[in-house]
Amino acid sequence: MKNILPRKPRLLLYGLACFLPRASSRQTTTSNATLACNQAQSILGDSTVQTPSDSDYAGASTAPWNLFNTQFKPACVVLPRNNTDVQVAMRSIFQFDVDYAVQAGGHSAMKGWNNVNNGVLISFERMDNISYDAAKDTITFEPAIRWGEIVATLESQGVAPVGGRIDDVGTGLLLGGGLSFLSPAHGFAADNYVELDIVLVDGTLVTATETNNYSDLFRALKGGANRFGIYPNSSFDAVAQAVFHYVRDVEDPNAALLLYFGALVLPDGTLTSFSIANMFYNGNSLPNSTYGELLSIPSISQSLGPLSWPELVASMAEPQPANGHGQLFGASVLAAGEDHDDLSFIDIVHKWQNFTFTFQSQINSTVLAFTPVPVSQITVGKERGGNAIDPPLIPYSAIQFQLTLPLGVPTISSEMEEGRQLFFQEAPRSPGFPLYMNECDVKQSVFETYGQYEFLKQTYMKYDPTRFNVRHTNGPQGL
């Protein structure tokens, strides 16, 4: 193990994005989709536009991490090599009025967000370049690269990017805001953008920065040593209380926490549950004032020590189930200001336990994860021109409820789906605080919880006045 602590993160320069999607499953007539595919193919060629009989079609359409998103059958898959190819594809999609989906890392648990039936799938798998400019202290990268590769590539330059926490996650993370272990000091990952290349729905390529003509688009697209201790179930209430105290009291921007409660079905069918605290501190020692309460709770095992940034990201790969499972996310948010108490933190853990216990015969595993968002993180975003999320200046925790189905099961029973929706209705949630996009369920109206909802709606109307994207691609609702 190398005795290196994470170093100063550098600014990010991010490749490419299509604008703000939404959910709804609608049919496009196969003929128009075929026309769009044929037109794109006549310009881009057979190797870039793959139809179901071509060799790279299956790989791209079944690439997503989430089994649900491997069940779609696009009319064709476009595999662009550069922005020009993306523009050509988007122009055809727009002209023939067809459904489409965009896939970068493909790690989303939102069903239908990165694949489509009878429409055009733009898969970025051939666009994974990355470079670092030491003079400008910026990273330039294309959408298909994953955070594990970015971190590994930049380690030799002594750069720790503010990006994903799990190595398999891709660059789409940024569009939802992005929670990093470096976020308390450096803001949401998206707060570190310098410049964005964006292909609008009609195929126009624009470059957006904080100060140019597309500054509104730039802001709207921002929303969008590691330590372990494993806690036995009997002390879950104490852990929930310690998380609340952490969120309320810790102001040190060098400290970050990802604490999750997990439950697994064992091979003999019994349920086991546990809690893991990933305590990240960017410094030479772990301050007792920050982590003392968590560390004083009896734990089965602890691993405390210095890690390099790549070692940290690699260590986060482990709890993540591999491809081939149906995945469903959902979010809540709990504030921990002076007026709040720890009861809602304890209550949501109990509701997660109840769900897991009720549906244990139909699941592989569940997770309830807490990510504190300190005031320092919110302030960084405001100083860098603001983002769409724009939370109140009160500390809160993003909360993710993850459901993993057994291997190879591509459907969820209606009773378990009802139980999941009941969880979202009844689990405590602080009004006025934003849900974290990348951890939400398709039915949760995330944009409505943003501080800049009105701004986001206006910006969306400006850049997509015919609401093309909302009508033709799946994703979050509310614009």
Structural tokens at position 154: 């930049």
**Per residue in 56-95, is it b (16+ CB within 10 Å) or e — as a string?**
ebeebbebbbbbbbbbbebbbbbbbeebebbbbbbbbbbe
Q: Which residues pair with 232 in a beta bridge?
A: 274
Structural tokens at position 159: 């750069």
User: How many helices (H) does the chain have, and how many strands (E)?
Assistant: 14, 16
> Which one of 275-283, 292-300, 391-399, 460-468 is the stretch in contact with ligand NAG (CB under 6 A)?
292-300
Three-state secondary structure call for residue 397: strand
State the Cα angle at 33 between 31 and 35, rounded to 5°: 70
Q: How far apart are CB 177 and ligand NAG at their closest, in Å? A: 26
Please identify, using beta-carbon distances, which residue of 203 and 419 lies nearer to ligand NAG. 419
Please identify, using beta-carbon distances, which residue of 166 and 422 lies nearer to ligand NAG. 422
Kindly state whether residue 203 participates in binding ligand NAG, applying the rule CB under 6 A.
Answer: no
Q: How far apart are CB 274 and ligand NAG at their closest, in Å? A: 9
CA within 13 Å, CB half, 233: 10
Contact pattern from residue 293 through residue 322 relative to ligand NAG, giving x for each residue in contact according to CB under 6 A and a dash for the rest: x--x------------------------xx
Q: Residue 113 has what DSSP assignment? A: S
> Which one of 93-101, 220-228, 302-310, 393-401 is the stretch in contact with ligand NAG (CB under 6 A)?
93-101
- Torsion region of 119: left, alpha or beta (phi above 0 gives left; psi -120 to 50 gives alpha): beta
Pure H helices in 204-258: 215-220, 236-249
Kindly state whether residue 141 participates in binding ligand NAG, applying the rule CB under 6 A.
Answer: no
Q: Residue 153 has what DSSP assignment? A: H
Kindly state whether residue 241 participates in binding ligand NAG, applying the rule CB under 6 A.
Answer: no
Kindly state whether residue 422 participates in binding ligand NAG, applying the rule CB under 6 A.
Answer: yes
> Which one of 105-113, 158-166, 249-257, 350-358 is the stretch in contact with ligand NAG (CB under 6 A)?
350-358
Site for ligand NAG in 361-420 (CB under 6 A): 364, 406-407, 419
> Which one of 17-25, 92-100, 159-167, 436-444 is the stretch in contact with ligand NAG (CB under 6 A)?
92-100
Applying CB under 6 A, which of residues 141, 188, 236, 345 lies at the interface with ligand NAG? Answer: 236
Kindly state whether residue 29 participates in binding ligand NAG, applying the rule CB under 6 A.
Answer: yes
Q: Are 333 and 430 in contact (CB under 8 A)?
A: yes
Applying CB under 6 A, which of residues 25, 30, 84, 379 lies at the interface with ligand NAG? Answer: 84
Site for ligand NAG in 41-70 (CB under 6 A): 48
Which residue number places its CB atom closest to ligand NAG? 292
Kindly state whether residue 466 participates in binding ligand NAG, applying the rule CB under 6 A.
Answer: no
Dihedrals phi, psi of 90, to nearest 5 degrees = -65, -35
CA–CA distance, 274 with 263 (Å, rounded to integer) = 6
First to last CA, the chain: 48
- Residues lying near ligand NAG in the complex (CB under 6 A) are found at 29, 32, 48, 81-82, 84-85, 95-97, 129, 213, 233, 236, 265, 271, 273, 288, 292-293, 296, 321-322, 351, 353-355, 358, 364, 406-407, 419, 422
